[in-house]
Amino acid sequence: MIILTTVVVLVVIGAIGSLLLFLAAKKFEVKEDLRIGQVAEVLPQANCGGCGFPGCSGFASACAKADSLDGLFCPVGGADVMNKVADILGMSAGAADPMVAVVRCNGDCEARPRTNTYDGAMSCAIAAALYSGETGCSYGCLGCGDCVAACNFGAIHMNPETGLPEVDEEKCTACGACVKACPKHIIELRKKGPKSRRIFVSCVNKDKGGVAKKACTNACIGCSKCLKECKFEAITIENNLSYIDWQKCRLCRSCVEVCPTHAIHELNFPPRKPKPEVPAAKPEATTAPVAQEATIPQA
């Protein structure tokens, strides 16, 4: 009898406990949107953070919760992936201009000679925290390759001849990892441009013209020639440094021609047509005075 009573009590306690757990689960149930998993499946799973969210799962959750996809874009997947996301969510994908990373430093080994040698950990972040760099320009590339290590797509590498990073625009996804990794802020995301044509000032030196030119012969000296030449108000000068707004630039290349230090770069443009030679003015023909014959009076 005691055993039977014990069994009944245990069964009752178990039933009550199960009922309480069931009610608690219903009370605190977190309903997950099934579309989040569907969106995550079409994302590239690069987890680069270029979308502004912590990984692809965070981006998928943000898309599913949003009322519109405006301002939401996966730089790795591009328009194709965003169209798939829009189909899943029953929305329209917002248009976004393709972007690409641009290196805004033109101080190669010839233009920016070394003044000292860095003998420490090969990290731009560490070098920048210790001193201004191996050259007279305290704004330029440190050359340790933090941007290369940060890129998950093999889209950037160091050129051993120039000592500067170079971007492979075919591989670049504009995730922004290299931009965040550079302590000198010389890498910028810019519009890829029609036919991948871009014009930008490849310099971030804010020193006065004479100081900047002494440190690097390719530096922007803030002479304002490009500002005066631009007819579209795409160029501004602040802190002795020119900057081209890619949203206003019409790619006319007029500013490139007038830059005395060649700090303004043009990429993927066709070769310029040679300017027609102006024929030299012909010297005016001079007519010598005709000598008059002297008449001798006859006797």
Q: Is 144 annotated as a binding residue?
A: yes
Q: At residue 53, what is the residue type?
A: F
Q: How far apart are CA 189 and CA 100, in angstroms?
A: 5
Residue labelled with tokens 């029953």: 90
DSSP string for residues in 30-49: -PPPHHHHHHHHHS------
Q: Is 51 annotated as a binding residue?
A: yes
Q: Is 182 annotated as a binding residue?
A: yes
Q: Is 48 annotated as a binding residue?
A: yes
Q: Is 220 annotated as a binding residue?
A: no
Q: Is 151 annotated as a binding residue?
A: yes
Q: Is 105 annotated as a binding residue?
A: no
State the binding site.
Answer: 48, 51, 56, 74, 137, 141, 144, 147, 151, 172, 175, 178, 182
State the binding site for [4Fe-4S] cluster.
Answer: 48, 51, 56, 74, 137, 141, 144, 147, 151, 172, 175, 178, 182
